[in-house]
Amino acid sequence: MRKTIIYLLIIAGMIYSSCQDEASSLGNSLMESSFRNVITDTCTVQMSTLYVDSVETLDDSICQIGHYKDSIWGEVTSSYYAEYSLSSFAPEADHTYHFDSITISFTQSGNFWGDTLTQQRISVYPLKYEMSLPDNEKMYSHSKVALASNPLFNFTLTPEPGRKKKKEIRMPDDFGETLLNDIVAEKEAFDSQEKFKSYLHGFAFIPERSDQCISGIQVSDSSMYITLYYKDIYTSRMDKALTLNVNTSYAFTSIEHDRTDTPLAQIESGIINAVPSSKLNQKAYLQGLTGFYNEIEFPHLNNLMEQGDIISIESAALYLYPVEGSYGKTNQLPSELRLYIADENNVLEDQIYSSSGTTVQNGNLTLDDVQNRNSYYSFDITSFLQSNLGTTGMYHKKLLLNLTDADFTSTFKQVIFANDKNKDRQVKLDIRYKAYTKK
């Protein structure tokens, strides 16, 4: 099963208002016939929102740290738990080693959610016990690990939207001095990773609840690493450094989410608990890490077959419009979306590809950076509708929509889709088809 659970339903009641050309003769065949080229662009599209409460976040290359309270999405606290990998050196008997400093360095990923003009306050707690994985060897957005009673230190983070600037924060000297002295003493803890994790269980990065921004931070050999600076004194004085990197096999983002008194409070986890946009003020919600996604279906597609004896779909485009003003200031629209095909049980079967059949479609985002009201995503779903026309029951397929795997499991990128057929810039399906009629 894929790392993410990806669902989308257009519960579409189709009302056919069409433009057509004059009836055209197909020639002097044994049976006379005519055909019409038809375009329909008034199909009512209704979307549903679903929710999964377990997003796998283990081993992600981006973590999210911060707190944000929003009237629509609710209150979210995002923390990061990480084990660190063993790193040491073989001390020389006739050398002297002096501690200089110890720091943690990180690079923001550039994505954010909230007020980037505020500062974040983050406390770094030692883990109370060494981290272990459950039987399925996965950690999820709801997972937690016990912490020490008091933080080792805390620091202030200034969000850097759209920038990937490296920051280096000084950690307590006594922690670094102890670490260096134990390495020089060649304690058993530095013989293997298993022994080292018993010595240094890891850290949790916990935001203050008064913060109003969540920032993405890269996790790699060049971000979220600890550097022990020391001096090696022998015939001369040499400045040296020892680096401890995150062991990503034991590192994950943990989410606390309170949806009380929000439009999303009623949504329960599970594919059978889809909430149609008609019950969400004509809106549908999609967001990474909190676990909201959509499901799309065309239950009245077969009504097209009533327009003639033979129906041939020539092209079909799906347009998805974010709610006006719902993006740009405190959040970021995802640059890519993914559209999939699933069976009646929401089992994923394939992705929606380009007309060439080789490239996965990404939603073709057209972005309005000025007014934040005319942005939209578009998908060519011609092939899907062609193969789905006339099918019923187990042979009738759905479309499933979500973020990319990486965005869904490691960011709070979000979209609120507008779905009110009585307004402009709403979810829309355009179909061009030919209707053949026997005379």
Distance (Å, whole) CA 69 – CA 347: 34
pTM, to two decimals: 0.88
How confident is the model at residue 43, as a pLDDT? Answer: 63
Distance (Å, whole) CA 313 – CA 151: 63
Distances (CA, A) of 50 to 296, 323, 353: 11, 18, 24
Host H or E run for residue 241: strand 237-244
Tokens for 47, please give them. 């979307």
| β-sheet bridge partners, residue 436 | 35, 310
| pLDDT tens track for 52-103 | 999 999 999 999 999 999 999 999 999 999 999 999 999 999 999 999 999 9
Residue 394: strand, helix, or coil: helix
Distance (Å, whole) CA 214 – CA 289: 12
| pLDDT tens track for 341-362 | 988 887 889 999 988 888 999 9
Tokens for 253, please give them. 């983002």
Distance (Å, whole) CA 37 – CA 273: 39
Distance (Å, whole) CA 295 – CA 280: 14
Q: Where are the domains of the chain?
A: 18-52+269-438, 62-258
